[in-house]
Amino acid sequence: MPRMPRPGLTVVSEPRRLTVDLPARGGAMAVLDWGDLDRPVDLVFAHANGFNALTYRHLLAPLADRYRIWAPDLRGHGATTLPTATEGRRGWNDHGADLAALLDATDGPPMVLAGHSMGGTAGLLAAAARPERMRGLVLADPVIMTRQAVLAFHLPLLRDLPRRSPLVVNALKRRSEFDSRAAALAAYRGRGAFKGWPDAVLADYLADGLVPAPDGGLTLACTSQWEASNYAAQAHDPWRAMRRLTCPIHILKAEAGLACHVPQPPRGLPHVTVETLPGSTHFLPMLQPDVVRDALRAMLEAADAA
């Protein structure tokens, strides 16, 4: 029987805002921090392309009743100041290395790493670089192409193929300037990727997703050029990352989505489980937060019991 969201009100608290200097990476990461300051970090959660950590406040904050949670703004998003050069960029290894450096900035025991879409894939790359820091991963519809596509994107003749995708073209055309957050909310509500989003979640995205524009008004914190670069840069290898890990990896796969091509069961990866959520889309953390939160809590509890 498919799991259904639990009824009732969700407790949503405001996070603390941290700035974690990562000099070896060229700047600093902005991090939202929930939970008891006396605890080590239990969970690091990374957001999807074009969004920011605060977008997931309604998903993550209820876990702070028991766990310490860090949610960073990835390079080129939110308040993070890491550089965003696009020339010659081929994959998401920069995001993976940023998250690995963030893990190095914590001094606690191994933790759970999680993320949505690009954030899930970046978390997977970071986990493969720091396997000794991992207790488990929860990936919400991570962007993982087929093994054949990953190999093809490494070939000189085909590695630029993703740059022609509609995602890249549409990102470069996206409106980026707004007079106010209210105007942006009205423009996004119920449309495109934001269809079905609760207003509270959309407002959280806009709170950190818009910054003052040089000529007045507001502009997107994640520029269209950087968002397009993330869509175009696909020469990283999540399959190799999964092979390097032995900790449990739980993938929540959207039923109506084209991002995640990991089958169940994935051949040669006994530590990876894939759960397809009935009726879900790529934006399942926004539309089915209870289900995603249950998966996060289950992995955290399993890690506690190990």
Q: Above 60 in pLDDT, residue 298?
A: yes
Summarised one tens digit per residue, pLDDT across range 154-174 is: 777 666 666 668 889 889 888
User: Do residues 277 and 288 make contact, with C-beta atoms less than 8 angstroms apart?
Assistant: yes
Residue owning tokens 């509270």: 200
What does the DSSP assignment read for the chain? Answer: ----PPPSPPP-PPPEEEEEEEGGGTEEEEEEEES-TTSPP-EEEEPPTT--GGGGHHHHGGGGGT--EEEEPPTTSTT-------TT--SSHHHHHHHHHHHHT--SS-EEEEEETHHHHHHHHHHHH-GGGEEEEEEES--B--HHHHHHTTSTTTTTGGGGSHHHHHHHHS--EES-HHHHHHHHTTSGGGTT--HHHHHHHHHHHEEE-TTSSEEESS-HHHHHHHHH-----HHHHHHH--S-EEEEEEEE-SSB---SSPTT-TTEEEEEEEEEETTHHHH-HHHHHHHHHHHHHHHHH-
Q: What is the pLDDT of residue 155?
A: 74
Q: How is residue 300 written in tokens?
A: 């955290």
Summarised one tens digit per residue, pLDDT across range 8-61 is: 445 578 899 999 999 999 999 999 999 999 999 999 999 999 999 999 999 999
Amino acid at 206: L
> Average of pLDDT values for 259-279?
95
Cβ neighbourhood burial of 294 (10 Å; 0-12, 13-18, 19+): middle
Q: Above 60 in pLDDT, residue 284?
A: yes
> Average of pLDDT values for 74-89?
95
Share of the chain above pLDDT 90, in %: 80
Summarised one tens digit per residue, pLDDT across range 140-159 is: 999 999 998 888 877 776 66
> Average of pLDDT values for 103-118?
95
Q: What is the pLDDT of residue 257?
A: 82
Confidence category of residue 3, pLDDT binned at 50, 70, 90: very low
pLDDT, the chain, mean: 92
Summarised one tens digit per residue, pLDDT across range 218-238 is: 999 999 999 999 999 998 999
Alpha-carbon distances of 40 from 18, 44, 69, rounded to whole Å: 15, 11, 9
